[in-house]
Structure 1
Amino acid sequence: MEKYEIVPVPTRILTHHDDICDAILEFGKDKIGPNDVVCAAESVVAITQGRAMRCEEFHPGFLAKTLSHLFPSKGSISSWYSMQALIDAEGGLRVLYAVICGFAAKCVGISGTFYRLAGEQARLIDDITGTMPPYDKHVVYGPANPTKVAEEITKACGCYGAAIADVNDLKRSAVLGVSKGVDADKVAEILIDNPFGNGSEKTPICIIKNYHRA
């Protein structure tokens, strides 16, 4: 695959008081060119949308407490609170159905069924251990309308395009939304080595330089 220069953009910790477009312009405007694609980490976009909730805002029920024990302890829905967040977002019956089907599928060697059936938030929710301070005591839902956000970033920054991405250090790269003209699969491959730094690095934004070559 063709190599692209990726420029991380350092920021301060972004919160629900921030607007993602304003933050990108504040910290990265002088780095963005007309042929570039601006990428934002999905958890930070969600936080700026006010989609982070403290654990005490959830009231885990019997279903959440039971189902959470069926998932690996390092998983994003292995706590009572994150499982209750999923149930609140997607519905208890849907989540229970997905667990049953997922277990049956695993018995015949098929993986990933639960996440395909349980709804979008099953893949996107970040548990309290998966988010940077001061949101390390929060459950963070996936961002709302990521494609719309990508279009807004493109318009605000005057760049070729934008993408909202969910990337980690385990070579898992998924693009949740892109602006018109941007290939989501291509961007996911470009970001596979995770150029984002949502912790002490404070680089939740990165720029793919000259994605659209003149």
Structure 2
Amino acid sequence: MSELELVPVRTRILTDKDNIVDILAQYVKDKIGPNDVITVAESVVAITQGRLTRPEDLDPCFLAKVLCRFIPQEGSMSSVAGMQAVMDMEGKYRVLFAMIAGIFGKLLGKSGVFYNMAGRQAALIDDVTGTMPPFDKCLVYGPANASEVAQSIKERLGCYGAAVADVNDLKRSLIVGTSDGLAAPELAKILINNPFGNASQQTPIVIIKNYAAAAAHAQA
């Protein structure tokens, strides 16, 4: 898809008082066309939905204090608060069973077993410092109804499609939800180098210009 262009869009700091679809209409309506795809960082969508909590509001259990030690330091569940937050959302025994299965999976040479079994929030939650101030003191859960959000964005703005993405600088690219007709694996590849900037850059929106034309050319 050589004709593709990734265009980050700067916004003000977004909060739970904002509607993400209204925000996109405000910031990108003059920058998009019918061939373009709008992608939004999942943490920002979650913040506008109010899906966040402070570590001091959690009550970590003994199991959370033990299991968090098995998560690599770069993982959001490596903190007691991050582990407890996921347990509160997905169930502590589900997380425990997933951890046991993950350990056996690694012994058999299989990676990703824990995250596949622990529930969606295990992969999506952002620990403190994972977002920009004033939310850098909060844990941010994954967004709710991400595909419905993406579909609403597409219908409101008249673009080719929209997606909610969870991408980081470690070459992890996950499409959390898409509007109708988009291929999540292809979008994940396009965003693999993390064009988003959720910290001081304040660019949680990325427009994939000419996506429809490039996709049609690739299929020809």
Please tell me the TM-score bracket, short chain as reference: over 0.9
Secondary structure at the counterpart of residue 30 of structure 1: coil
Query: Partner letter of residue 23 of structure 2?
Result: A
Moved more, 28-37 or 143-152: 28-37
Rounded to whole Å, the distance in 1 between the matches of 2:165 and 2:142 is 11
Residue 42 of structure 1 pairs with residue 35 of structure 2: no
Query: Partner letter of residue 118 of structure 1?
Result: A
Query: Partner letter of residue 81 of structure 2?
Result: Y
Query: Partner letter of residue 117 of structure 1?
Result: M
Q: Which residue of 1 aligns with 2:18?
A: 18
Secondary structure at the counterpart of residue 84 of structure 1: helix
Secondary structure at the counterpart of residue 25 of structure 1: helix
Aligned residues: 214
C-alpha displacement at 1:3, in angstroms?
4.3
C-alpha displacement at 1:100, in angstroms?
0.8
Rounded to whole Å, the distance in 2 between the matches of 1:167 and 1:137 is 20
Any stretches of 5+ residues in structure 1 without a counterpart?
none
Rounded to whole Å, the distance in 1 between the matches of 2:70 and 2:25 is 43
Q: How does 1:1-214 map to 2 (within 5 A)?
A: 1-213=1-213
Contact 2:41 2:166 (C-alpha < 8 Å) held by counterparts:
yes
Contact 2:9 2:27 (C-alpha < 8 Å) held by counterparts:
yes
Rounded to whole Å, the distance in 2 between the matches of 1:100 and 1:130 is 27
Rounded to whole Å, the distance in 2 between the matches of 1:208 and 1:156 is 17
Q: Deviations over 1:30-63 (max 9, x none)?
A: 1011111100000100000100111122111111
Rounded to whole Å, the distance in 2 between the matches of 1:88 and 1:5 is 40
Rounded to whole Å, the distance in 2 between the matches of 1:3 and 1:172 is 23
Secondary structure at the counterpart of residue 77 of structure 1: helix
Query: Partner letter of residue 88 of structure 1?
Result: D
Q: Deviations over 1:112-138 (max 9, x none)?
A: 111111111110011003222111110
Report the TM-score, using the length of structure 1 for normalisation. 0.96
C-alpha displacement at 1:169, in angstroms?
1.2
Task: Give the percent of matched residue pairs that are identical in Structure 1 and Structure 2.
Answer: 59
Rounded to whole Å, the distance in 2 between the matches of 1:104 and 1:181 is 37
C-alpha displacement at 1:84, in angstroms?
0.6
C-alpha RMSD over aligned residues: 1.2
Rounded to whole Å, the distance in 1 between the matches of 2:123 and 2:33 is 32
Query: Partner letter of residue 113 of structure 1?
Result: V
Query: Partner letter of residue 5 of structure 1?
Result: E
Secondary structure at the counterpart of residue 195 of structure 1: coil
Rounded to whole Å, the distance in 2 between the matches of 1:82 and 1:136 is 13
